[in-house]
Amino acid sequence: MPIRDRARVRAPVVIRAASREIALAMIVVASIGGATALLLMGVGFPVLPGLAALWMGAFGSWYAFTSATLIRSVPLMLTGCAVAVAFRGGVLNIGAEGQLLVGAAAAVAVSLAVPAGGKLFALAILVALLAAALAGAMWAGVAAYLRARYHVLEVISTIMLNFIALHVVSYLVRGPLQEPTHIYPQSAAIGDALHLPHLPAAGRLHAGFALALGLAIVSGWMLRHTAAGFRLVATGESPSAAASAGGIDVRGTTARVFLLSGALAGLAGGVEVLGVTFALYENISPGYGYTAIAVALLARLDPWRVVATAVLFGGLEAGAGAMQRDAGVPSTLVSVIEAALILAVVAAQAIRSRRQASAAPPLVDA
């Protein structure tokens, strides 16, 4: 078939797929609005002021969108991609939170080691981000080794490593990395020259957004169009079939998935301290690594869709603060909405799987 004819045949398919994605996005947004209204009504808060504050805090102005919503979406994009890639590869990495924390600690340690009067600050920023990614990969590597050597379920090991990482950060900000006066449990501030540059005409939004967006695009392309992505997805779908029919090194692929996922989550920590907090302290993450699981599931484990869901959850987080500030609505209400949204997604996936299983033709014995 000529290339022009193939393009004509493919165009309606692409249009239908795009239409389905837009319709799904509209349904999700409408569902969130409806659920928020019902919750506000149920707990006795004014509905219209609450919804207005939620919208204004997240998308009501260019400054709110860039300096609140997109700022919060950056770590969610990176950790969401980390979770999506891991889950697609059959690795249930629940440890993005811990990997983010050790990545943040590594980036701060490298940044504080740079002399105040030194030059080559762009190189120092790059080294700090690489250190964050390496620290996250090494932290995930612990769980990978436990799974490969002792068959420890990564769900358990990564959750336990989250708590260890939390206490490691607590030790560092009270010990080796504590600020010079030893009064506050935090590190010294990172020098201005090592801050990620702000994007032009985008308020407080920093270059980490471009980095996260680029890595999400590359991750999605890798899963769709490369041999490594095929091996990753095949291993996640059926390790035994991948090994026997595809000749894939399942053990090696799983280890690489672990390391890649940890590197993305660790990089999220580095971007957060170099672009937003500029110091290391306890509770530096409001749970980005856990929210990333929701982001990835809602995106159906697709890194390209993670960009949209990360912006959605970033908007919810930004709007939650505005609701509490402007309408007196507790910000924890948004956590309830997020949880209900994830339950709905999981239920929809379960229903879809059952329908596909019932629609499949029965196996006939030879």
Taking the chain, what is the end-to-end CA distance rounded to the nearest angstrom? Answer: 38
| pLDDT at site 276 | 95
Specify if 153 maps to a domain.
Answer: yes
Residue 181: pLDDT over 50: yes
Residue 117: pLDDT over 70: no
Distance CA 327, CA 37 (A): 13
Looking at the DSSP assignment, which residues form a beta bridge with residue 178? Answer: 187
Question: What mean pLDDT, rounded, does the chain reach?
Answer: 87
Contact between residue 253 and residue 266 where contact means Cβ atoms under 8 Å apart: no
pLDDT band at 41 (very low <50, low <70, confident <90, very high): confident
Give the number of residues written for the chain: 366
Residue 347: pLDDT over 80: no
Which residue's entry shows tokens 């053990």? Answer: 251
Mean pLDDT for 61-86 is 95
Specify if 24 maps to a domain.
Answer: no
DSSP string across 229-263: HHHHHHHHH-HHHHHHTS---HHHHHHHHHHHHHH
pLDDT digits (tens, 9 = 90+) for 183-209: 999 999 999 989 999 999 888 999 999
Specify if 137 maps to a domain.
Answer: yes
| pLDDT at site 37 | 81
Specify if 198 maps to a domain.
Answer: yes
Phi, psi of 281 (to 5 degrees): -155, 170
pLDDT band at 70 (very low <50, low <70, confident <90, very high): very high
Contact between residue 325 and residue 60 where contact means Cβ atoms under 8 Å apart: no
| pLDDT at site 366 | 43
Residue 102: C-alpha distances to residues 182, 267, 273, 328 (Å): 21, 10, 11, 35
Mean pLDDT for 153-177 is 96
Contact between residue 216 and residue 306 where contact means Cβ atoms under 8 Å apart: yes
Distance CA 351, CA 229 (A): 28
Q: What percentage of the chain has pLDDT greater than the value 90? A: 60
Residue 178: pLDDT over 60: yes
Residue 22: pLDDT over 80: no
Measured from the Cβ of residue 324, the count of other Cβ atoms closer than 10 Å reads 18
DSSP state of 146: H
Q: The CATH number of the domain where 109 resides is what?
A: 1.10.3470
Distance CA 287, CA 335 (A): 11
Specify if 288 maps to a domain.
Answer: yes
DSSP string across 309-334: HHHHHHHHHHHHHHIIIII---THHH
Distance CA 277, CA 284 (A): 8
Specify if 300 maps to a domain.
Answer: yes
pLDDT band at 352 (very low <50, low <70, confident <90, very high): confident
* Coil, strand or helix at 200: coil
Domain containing 163: what range?
A: 61-311
Question: What domain count does the chain have?
Answer: 1
| pLDDT at site 268 | 97
Residue 4: pLDDT over 70: no
Measured from the Cβ of residue 232, the count of other Cβ atoms closer than 10 Å reads 26
pLDDT band at 90 (very low <50, low <70, confident <90, very high): very high
Which tokens belong to 280?
């290391």
Specify if 75 maps to a domain.
Answer: yes
Residue 296, Cβ density class (10 Å: 0-12 exposed, 13-18 middle, ≥19 buried):
buried
Which tokens belong to 352?
């879809």
| pLDDT at site 333 | 81
User: Measured on CA atoms in the order 21, 27, 31, 33, is the torsion positive or negative?
Assistant: positive
pLDDT digits (tens, 9 = 90+) for 309-338: 999 999 988 988 888 888 888 877 877 877
Residue 128: pLDDT over 90: yes
What counts of helices (H) and strands (E) characterise the chain?
A: 14, 0
Q: Report the run of H or E that residue 227 belongs to, with start and end.
A: helix 227-237
Distance CA 345, CA 352 (A): 10
Contact between residue 112 and residue 301 where contact means Cβ atoms under 8 Å apart: no
For residues 216 and 58, which has the higher predicted lDDT (pLDDT)?
Answer: 216
Which tokens belong to 328?
């007196």
Specify if 332 maps to a domain.
Answer: no
| pLDDT at site 245 | 78
Q: What angle do CA 346, 351, 362 make, to 5 degrees?
A: 135
